[in-house]
Amino acid sequence: MAFRGWMVVSAFSLVSSAALTAASARAGSGKAYVSEGMKYEVEVLLEADGVLWGFDFLPDGNIVASRRAGDMFVFDVRTGERARIDGVPAVAAVGQGGLLDVRVHPDFKRNHWIYFTYSERVGDKMTTALGRGALRGRRLEGVKKLFSGHAPGSRSIHFGSRVEFSGPYVFVSVGDRDERAGAQDLGYHNGKVMRLNADGSPAEGNPFVGADGARPEIWTYGHRNPQGLARHPATGEIWEAEMGPLGGDEVNVLKKGANYGWPVVTYGREYSGERIGAAEKAGMAQPVVHWTPSISPSAIAFYDGDVFPKWKGDLFVGALSGAHLRRLTIDGGKVVAQEEMLKDRGERFRNVRQGPDGALYYSTDAGRLSRLVPVGSARSGRFTAPGERRGRGTK
């Protein structure tokens, strides 16, 4: 349904001219890092005020990004120019809420669709919602609200949320909103991952369609605060990352109709140290990997580029409280090795994505957008991907 009765605001009215500033130089950090024998450096592309929650790549190689404060912008990686996007709907930027993930539809060249999640007010409460608009020029047109989570809550935490595409379907994660029982109740969207059609309707074949009292959009349940979704490039599986309480952070492979346990099953504890649930229970899925102490995983992304060939097939996890980028080596669906990366930078890693140029991009809660490139690429003035002619943009 459309945003009837909603205030559609210009992003220019939300952000001062000082809110977005170019990085002082398009140069590397001056420090070389090594992973699997490959030397890389950090190229800071952009610095912004506040949390850079989501970003994705347009077909021309430019980046569309979201600030949790409530605005989007397009960033030209080649020139460093930024343009704020008009027509972004007002969001409830309170606590952990605001404008969250932003994704470019795989068929963008034809439909111009941008999907985004955000926290919205429903009376005196809030919930997670999914919106869509057509990006034409620097404006979102025909903005529609495709999904709104049931039920709204009074707390301003645990909204999720990430968006992932798989064929004709859109996967959307929603946090438990700190109302734990809802994660096990199929009558609520809280603590669930949804599988939707492109228009936001429940996808055919969803596991609980027709079940008494169940929400037809649900694909999996028993999640706490899932902020990571990624499609495996080889298997097509949807992988998910979520935060536990005191410990018990997880990465899961999502299976149709599966129950991932929260709060009945968890490796985490109350912040007081008391147990919450059992570590295992029949009928509830186990994570691929879990962490105690917590690292607070946010976004996840598989790497399948050619710039760093020894990372192919690895899963990257942005860690918030852990303040690092974590690389997971996957073999047969199992995590066989882990590497903590960039811990010396002291940042909260919010989003991570592979770029069309094969570099690995990430954004942080300090408002930085950066990418990992081979040593010397940043200082040369512009990173050149394998097979790309210098002086021409990424297509």
Known catalytic residues are 158
Count of other CB atoms within 10 angstroms of residue 29? 15
**What is the DSSP track for 156-199?**
S------EEEETTEEEEEE--TT-GGGGG-TT--TTEEEEE-TT
Omega of the bond prior to 226 within 30 degrees of 0, cis?
Answer: no
Burial label for 246, CB within 10 Å (0-12, 13-18, 19+), is middle
Please state, in angstroms and rounded to a whole number, the distance separating the CA atoms of residues 38 and 35: 5
SS3 of residue 109 by DSSP = helix
Q: Which two tokens stand for residue 217?
A: 């959009």
3-state secondary structure 340-363: EECHHHCCCEEEEEECCCCCEEEE
Please state, in angstroms and rounded to a whole number, the distance separating the CA atoms of residues 307 and 41: 13
- The secondary structure of residue 110, as a DSSP letter, is H
CB 138 within 8 A of CB 86: yes
Q: Which two tokens stand for residue 328?
A: 């997971």
Beta strand residue intervals within 4-138, DSSP E:
8-9, 20-22, 33-35, 38-48, 52-57, 63-67, 71-75, 82-84, 88-89, 99-104, 113-122, 125-136
* End-to-end CA gap in the chain: 34
Please state, in angstroms and rounded to a whole number, the distance separating the CA atoms of residues 308 and 269: 38
Residues 6+ apart with CB under 8 A from 203: 168, 169, 195, 196, 197, 217
Instruction: Read off φ and ψ for residue 383, nearest 5 degrees.
Output: -65, 135
SS3 of residue 217 by DSSP = coil
Q: Which two tokens stand for residue 325?
A: 């980028």
